[in-house]
């Protein structure tokens, strides 16, 4: 029986497929982001989830051929189902993650189910539209609208949904889009429907579901988020780049990024003072300082203790983090308003891109970046990166990088040493125990042509502190930090140099004994 669609009705179908294409791709982006946050390893999670989605879409296309009649009714039911799946996916996965170690299976299952329904959408719309347009125009126009919707969805997700709605309300918004598509088709073509009563009941039921969800979803997410942290959450925000969480215990504060501790006021001086003061005390010139990372401003706080510093450039990817460091009353108290000091210039840019394009020369470069637990981060610990840094250092300039843990991941620690040496640095590794983080390490480097290993170690051991004022660091602490027991530095001969084309550091890092701490 020919479908009595008019030209205007055909346009409505295409607008609907544009909207579902937009919502469908964003649903998968949401699940991929959630998996990256809960399970780690973003590249792996995005690869698995997008592959599962495409595979499931193929299955959905295949299954759609068995839908033989009442296509409009079944398409509306499909959109209603998709709206519920999108709406509950993140909240349910978050909640499940508080008591189950199989959260990944749940996320992957949602990806497959949503992919199946998305895959069935296009064949059904194409078949409903076939009575108005010939085959070649019908297929191309329907596919075109779906792909355009995917582009718009990607842009909205990256620049609007994730930073403003976060993972809390973006799934609800996606569910509402699919619900509106089904609702428009229901009310517009009600006279063509066979299952009018069932669809009407579904419409009012799902309307109630979304009205309740708007008020329930945030408490569920917050409850599930709080379960992941020992202490009370006082701030949380999903940015374009990462999830930022602050917790409080008594008068102490913790900052986490994607679930990983960045600092605790319980002992942060045991990290930031060793990061900054050996290099600053050793440098014969401290006018122009570069900090790559360190967007919370604690490293800058230590740098500004040296009165001869004229300029500090902070390069941090996430503007939300640097804005918090400038304006959040808790963080500004911790960093002593360092990020609004007139000597400090904040640039929100990728560190690799910045150092690659920079034409300035620096007296000291501090690399205070997250651990190399992904391919994208490992390039900031690569030979190519350290070579770029060397070109931007003055003749006697110094570079310091945090280098993960010599205890929990000794191979990654010595890999960073070996990689810096391959970029023509003389490298002095050192370490310190930080109660909330475990044993941590850093690497201090100068150009090989200006100092030998023995000379560099001797010079560092001669450093006198104070001045400047410190809470933890003194000469005895520095002397202890540059000495290692057996079994750490000896591993250097067995590890490879980390490069952009061979990011072996990620493998070393992930094989570390992080669960021990």
Q: What are phi and psi of 151, to 5 degrees?
A: -65, -50
Q: What CATH number does residue 201 fall under? A: 1.20.1250
Q: Which of 15-24, 196-205, 274-283, 312-321 has the lowest mean pLDDT?
A: 15-24
Split at pLDDT 50, 70, 90, the class of 462 is: very high
Whether residue 153 is found in the same domain as residue 31 = yes
DSSP label of 340: G
| Residue 412 to residue 450: CA distance in whole angstroms | 27
* Domain assignment of residue 2, yes or no: no
* Domain assignment of residue 49, yes or no: yes
What order do you get walking across the sheet with 438-447 strand by strand? 344-347, 311-315, 288-293, 362-368, 393-402, 438-447, 425-434
Mean pLDDT of 251-268: 94
Split at pLDDT 50, 70, 90, the class of 6 is: low
| Residue 20 to residue 122: CA distance in whole angstroms | 10
* Domain assignment of residue 396, yes or no: yes
* Domain assignment of residue 268, yes or no: yes
Q: Per residue, what are the HEC states of 371-407?
A: CCCCHHHHHHHCHHHHHHHHHCEEEEEEEEEECCCCC
Whether residue 123 is found in the same domain as residue 209 = yes
> Between these two residues, 404 and 141, which has the higher pLDDT value?
404
Total number of domains in the chain:
2
List Cβ neighbours of 487 (8 Å cut-off, separation of 6 or more): 410
Whether residue 293 is found in the same domain as residue 388 = yes
| Residue 181 to residue 224: CA distance in whole angstroms | 31
* Domain assignment of residue 1, yes or no: no
Q: What is the pLDDT of residue 2?
A: 47
316 close to 322: Cβ distance less than 8 angstroms = yes
Whether residue 278 is found in the same domain as residue 158 = no
Question: Does position 1 have pLDDT exceeding 50, yes or no?
Answer: no
Query: Within a 10 A sphere around the Cβ of 290, how many other Cβ atoms?
Result: 27
Looking at every residue in the chain, the average pLDDT score rounds to 91
Whether residue 223 is found in the same domain as residue 268 = no
**371 included as an active-site residue:** no
* Domain assignment of residue 499, yes or no: yes
DSSP label of 243: E
Q: What CATH number does residue 437 fall under? A: 3.40.50.150
Q: What percent of the chain has pLDDT over 90?
A: 65
Mean pLDDT of 423-448: 96
DSSP label of 448: T
- List the one residue out of 319, 316, 281 whose CA is nearest residue 298: 316
Whether residue 423 is found in the same domain as residue 333 = yes
Whether residue 410 is found in the same domain as residue 510 = yes
Split at pLDDT 50, 70, 90, the class of 7 is: low
Q: What is the pLDDT of residue 259?
A: 86
Task: Tell me the whole-structure pTM to 2 decimals.
Answer: 0.84
Give the model confidence (pLDDT) of 337-373 as tens digits. 999 999 999 999 999 999 999 999 999 999 999 999 8
Catalytic residue among 73, 146, 316, 368: 368
> Between these two residues, 118 and 131, which has the higher pLDDT value?
118
- List the one residue out of 188, 156, 152 whose CA is nearest residue 75: 188
Q: What is the pLDDT of residue 517?
A: 58
Mean pLDDT of 483-489: 90
* Domain assignment of residue 252, yes or no: no
Domain with 322, as residue range(s), is 263-516
Q: Which of 13-22, 271-280, 298-307, 313-322 has the lowest mean pLDDT?
A: 13-22
Q: What are the helix (H) ranges across 392-503?
A: 410-422, 453-461, 475-481
Question: Does position 5 have pLDDT exceeding 50, yes or no?
Answer: no
| Residue 74 to residue 458: CA distance in whole angstroms | 78
**Boundary residue ending a domain (227, 255, 277):** 227
* Domain assignment of residue 256, yes or no: no
Q: What is the pLDDT of residue 283?
A: 95
Whether residue 281 is found in the same domain as residue 223 = no
Whether residue 406 is found in the same domain as residue 276 = yes
- List the one residue out of 260, 337, 252 whose CA is nearest residue 300: 337
126 close to 138: Cβ distance less than 8 angstroms = yes
Split at pLDDT 50, 70, 90, the class of 459 is: very high
> Between these two residues, 41 and 104, which has the higher pLDDT value?
104
| Residue 496 to residue 506: CA distance in whole angstroms | 12
Mean pLDDT of 151-155: 91
Give the model confidence (pLDDT) of 138-149 as tens digits. 888 888 888 898
Whether residue 198 is found in the same domain as residue 307 = no
399 close to 381: Cβ distance less than 8 angstroms = no
Strand partners, 263: 255
Whether residue 504 is found in the same domain as residue 434 = yes
Question: Does position 484 have pLDDT exceeding 80, yes or no?
Answer: yes
Question: Does position 202 have pLDDT exceeding 70, yes or no?
Answer: yes
> Between these two residues, 13 and 328, which has the higher pLDDT value?
328
- List the one residue out of 73, 71, 85, 86 whose CA is nearest residue 186: 73
Question: Does position 102 have pLDDT exceeding 90, yes or no?
Answer: no
Give the model confidence (pLDDT) of 52-84 as tens digits. 999 999 999 999 999 988 888 999 999 999 999
Whether residue 354 is found in the same domain as residue 499 = yes
**Boundary residue ending a domain (227, 254, 285):** 227
340 close to 264: Cβ distance less than 8 angstroms = no
Using CA of residue 139, residue 143, residue 144, residue 149, what is the dihedral sign? Answer: positive
**Boundary residue ending a domain (174, 204, 227):** 227
282 close to 463: Cβ distance less than 8 angstroms = yes
């Amino acid at each position: 029986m020919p479908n009595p669609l008019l030209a205007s009705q055909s346009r409505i179908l295409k607008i609907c497929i544009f909207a579902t294409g937009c919502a469908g791709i964003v649903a998968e982006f949401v699940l991929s982001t959630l998996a990256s946050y809960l399970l780690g390893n973003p590249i792996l999670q995005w690869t698995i989830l997008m592959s599962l989605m495409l595979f499931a879409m193929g299955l959905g296309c295949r299954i759609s051929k068995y839908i033989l009649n009442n296509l409009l009714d079944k398409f509306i039911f499909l959109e209603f189902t998709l709206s519920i799946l999108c709406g509950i996916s993140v909240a349910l996965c978050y909640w499940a993650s508080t008591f189950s170690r199989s959260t990944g299976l749940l996320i992957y299952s949602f990806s497959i189910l949503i992919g199946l329904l998305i895959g069935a959408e296009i064949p059904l719309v194409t078949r409903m539209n076939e009575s108005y347009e010939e085959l070649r125009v019908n297929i191309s126009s329907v596919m075109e609208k779906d792909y355009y919707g995917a582009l718009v969805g990607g842009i909205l997700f990256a620049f609007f949904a994730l930073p403003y709605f976060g993972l809390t309300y973006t799934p609800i918004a996606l569910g509402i889009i699919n619900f509106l598509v089904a609702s428009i088709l229901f009310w517009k073509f009600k006279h063509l429907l066979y299952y009018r009563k069932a669809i009407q009941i579904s419409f009012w039921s799902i309307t109630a579901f979304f009205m309740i969800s708007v008020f329930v979803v945030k408490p569920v997410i917050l409850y599930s988020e709080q379960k992941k942290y020992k202490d009370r959450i006082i701030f949380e925000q999903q940015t374009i780049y990462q999830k930022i969480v602050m917790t409080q215990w008594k008068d102490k504060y913790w900052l986490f990024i994607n679930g990983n501790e960045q600092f605790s006021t319980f002992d942060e001086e045991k990290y930031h003072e060793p990061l900054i003061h050996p290099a600053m005390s050793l440098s014969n010139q401290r006018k122009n300082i570069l900090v790559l990372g360190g967007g919370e401003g604690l490293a800058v706080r230590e740098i500004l203790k040296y009165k001869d510093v004229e300029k500090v450039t902070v390069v941090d990817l996430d503007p939300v983090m640097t804005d918090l460091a400038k304006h959040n009353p808790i963080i500004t108290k911790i960093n002593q308003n360092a990020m609004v000091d007139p000597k400090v210039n904040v640039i929100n840019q990728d560190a690799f891109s910045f150092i690659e394009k920079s034409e300035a020369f620096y007296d000291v470069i501090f690399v205070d970046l997250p651990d190399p637990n992904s391919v994208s981060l490992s390039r900031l610990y690569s030979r190519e990166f350290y070579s770029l840094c060397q070109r931007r250092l003055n003749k006697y300039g110094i570079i310091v990088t945090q280098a993960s843990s010599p205890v929990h991941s000794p191979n990654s620690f010595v890999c960073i040493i070996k990689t810096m040496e391959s970029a023509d640095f003389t490298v002095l590794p050192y370490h310190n125990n930080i109660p909330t983080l475990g044993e941590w390490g850093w690497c201090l480097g100068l150009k090989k042509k200006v100092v030998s290993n023995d000379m560099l170690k001797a010079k560092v051991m001669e450093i006198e502190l104070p001045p400047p004022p410190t809470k933890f660091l003194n000469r005895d602490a520095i002397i202890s930090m540059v000495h290692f027991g057996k079994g750490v530095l000896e591993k250097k001969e067995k590890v490879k140099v980390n490069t952009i084309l061979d990011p072996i550091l990620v493998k070393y890092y992930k094989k570390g004994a992080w669960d021990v701490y």
